[in-house]
Amino acid sequence: MEMQTWLRSTLCACAVVLTMLSLGCQAPGVGDPCEPESIPEGGFVPSEAYIETSSVQCRTRVCMVYQLPGFPNREGDCNPAVVGGTCSTQQETAERVYCTCRCDAPSSAATTCECPDGFSCVSVLDSEFAGEGIRGSYCVKSNTVAPEDR
């Protein structure tokens, strides 16, 4: 009888340890919602991508606005008359404003990630004016990327 109790206790302890270890290995947070801390005057340009690094809202520390028309609208909080431009729909905002990570970089020393399912590694910042620390490709929701950019 004591052996069964010991065995059960050992198995329960192992289960607890494995559960704790799996919780420690959380998903990278790519796709989590975030709010851009700064919005350009006149809103976002639908042909551009905007990257905010050091975002405390994201486990990845990168918040991206990808080709969003106008101003973000999360919960009906965007009024075109007030912002002096157009407001994206709530669905557009959810699809195009989220946490991301850099999946490819010009420098092999840069930290990169692997894009999760539903995301494509897309060249977002390849301009010579972008700093080395942010230049490269980022994980972008596949349903928002043109086939030729995937």
Structure confidence at residue 109 as a pLDDT band (50, 70, 90): confident
Q: What is the mean pLDDT of residues 22-33?
A: 66
pTM exceeding the 0.85 threshold for the entire prediction: no
- Buried b or exposed e, range 28-49, using 16+ CB within 10 angstroms: bbbbeebebeebeeebbeeeeb
Structure confidence at residue 27 as a pLDDT band (50, 70, 90): very low
Q: What is the mean pLDDT of residues 59-77?
A: 89
Q: Is the pLDDT of residue 81 over 90?
A: no
Q: What is the mean pLDDT of residues 102-120?
A: 90
